[in-house]
């Protein structure tokens, strides 16, 4: 690997050269990251400390919140620090680690969202057999499959990136290390690797999106036979899932399902699937979910009361 490159670090050009814009972005993304951490940690603790953890939907939701934290933390702290710094550099090793972490945790999140859609399909279309089909052993197996899918997706991406030779320009026109910007500065013909990346990342995003879209069409079609109250509850839950899917998959498909090149708009679209969508997940899943709001109220009220009693 040392023979293939003669650079030890990359320069990230970031979001903007304007100092005032960088200060504005620093405040904005610091707030977004804190909101993301607090919101997802609230969901995690509330589910773990309540009976909801034994329900498959909330079991999967706790894993989604964990992936949101890991996924966004692989990019956002570096972005926030760079917005206040001068030259935005990242070492070669940390750059490769960022590529791996982004694709590993991101693809796990994609597969967990798919598992959650399957869970809603079983709950709405096979309600009498729901607990039999979605038993705890099968839930563990589905989460394990999501992690395995993340590994199968991310290790080939990392392998292709590590083999790229870097011998000249080291400026990456992005705010984090990703494969397409790295292909642009590699000193070799990257056409084949670019096609492989599109086949891997792009097709994973597209196929899972189509699967999710079809599953929700089937779910909505089957709601014709439910009562008005049942339809309202199912639509509320599915509406939350569909909102998350659109926020995450729309920009992801634009970023990866296209010829291997870079555009100025890439950084704006990347903000949606790295920061904005994970930040809105806690709000989307709690504001429209009475069970989640009740669980959070009980858990945190009990915590406050126990602390007051102890004092």
pLDDT given for residue 3 in this prediction: 42
Q: Could you tell me the CA-to-CA distances from 169 to 58, 89, 166, 177, 181 in Å, in that order?
A: 47, 13, 8, 15, 12
- Give the C-alpha separation, 182 to 167, whole Å: 12
Those residues whose C-beta lies under 8 Å from the C-beta of residue 286, and which sit 6 or more positions away, are 39, 43, 292, 293, 296
pLDDT given for residue 300 in this prediction: 67
**Nearest one of 222, 230, 208, 211 to 122, comparing CA atoms:** 222
> Would you say the C-alpha torsion 181, 81, 77, 270 has a positive or negative sign?
negative
Give me the average pLDDT of each 10-residue run along the chain (311 residues). 64 82 90 91 85 86 91 92 82 92 92 88 84 91 95 91 84 87 85 84 84 82 71 69 78 75 75 85 72 72 61 56
pLDDT given for residue 2 in this prediction: 43
How confident is the model over 174-219, as pLDDT tens digits?
888 988 888 888 888 888 888 888 888 888 888 888 888 888 888 8
3-state secondary structure of 171: strand
How many other CB atoms are found less than 10 A from the CB of residue 304? Answer: 10
Number of Cα atoms under 13 Å in the Cβ half of residue 253 = 13
Identify any residues that bridge with 172 across adjacent strands, giving them in sequence order.
Answer: 12
The C-alpha angle with vertex 74 and arms to 73 and 77, in degrees rounded to 5, equals 55
Asked whether the beta carbons of 72 and 271 are under 8 A apart, the reply is no
Those residues whose C-beta lies under 8 Å from the C-beta of residue 149, and which sit 6 or more positions away, are 107, 108, 111
- Give the C-alpha separation, 134 to 119, whole Å: 7
pLDDT given for residue 288 in this prediction: 62
How confident is the model over 225-237, as pLDDT tens digits?
666 766 676 666 6
3-state secondary structure of 175: coil
The beta strand positions in 75-187, using DSSP E, are 89-91, 171-172
How many other CB atoms are found less than 10 A from the CB of residue 196? Answer: 16
How many other CB atoms are found less than 10 A from the CB of residue 135? Answer: 12
Residue with tokens 């292709």: 160
> Would you say the C-alpha torsion 162, 184, 30, 91 has a positive or negative sign?
positive
């Amino acid at each position: 690997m040392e023979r293939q490159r003669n650079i030890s670090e990359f320069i990230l050009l970031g979001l903007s050269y304007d100092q005032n814009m960088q200060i504005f972005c620093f405040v904005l993304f610091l707030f977004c990251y804190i909101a993301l951490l607090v919101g997802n940690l609230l969901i995690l603790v509330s589910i773990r400390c309540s009976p909801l953890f034994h329900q498959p939907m909330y079991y999967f939701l706790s894993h989604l919140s964990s992936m949101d934290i890991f996924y966004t933390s692989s990019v956002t702290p570096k972005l926030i620090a760079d917005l206040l710094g001068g030259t935005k550099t990242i070492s070669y090793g940390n750059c490769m680690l960022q590529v791996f972490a982004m694709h590993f945790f991101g693809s796990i999140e994609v597969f967990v969202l798919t598992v959650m859609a399957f869970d809603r399909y079983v709950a709405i279309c096979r309600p009498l057999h729901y607990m039999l089909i979605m038993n705890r052993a099968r839930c563990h197996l589905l989460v394990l499959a999501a992690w395995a899918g993340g590994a199968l997706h991310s290790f080939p991406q990392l392998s292709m990136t590590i083999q790229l030779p870097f011998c000249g320009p080291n400026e990456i026109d992005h705010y984090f290390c990703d494969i397409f910007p790295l292909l642009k500065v590699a000193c070799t013909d990257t056409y084949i690797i670019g096609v492989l990346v599109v086949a891997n990342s792009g097709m994973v995003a597209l196929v899972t999106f189509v699967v999710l879209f079809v599953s929700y069409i089937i779910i909505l079609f089957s709601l014709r036979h439910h009562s008005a109250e049942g339809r309202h509850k199912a639509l509320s839950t599915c509406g939350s899932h569909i909102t998350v899917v659109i926020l995450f998959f729309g920009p992801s498909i634009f970023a990866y399902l296209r010829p291997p090149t870079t555009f100025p708009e890439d950084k704006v679209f990347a903000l949606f699937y790295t920061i904005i969508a994970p930040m809105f997940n806690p709000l989307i899943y709690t504001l429209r979910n009475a069970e989640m709001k009740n669980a959070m109220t009980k858990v945190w009220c009990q915590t406050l009361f126990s602390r007051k009693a102890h004092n």
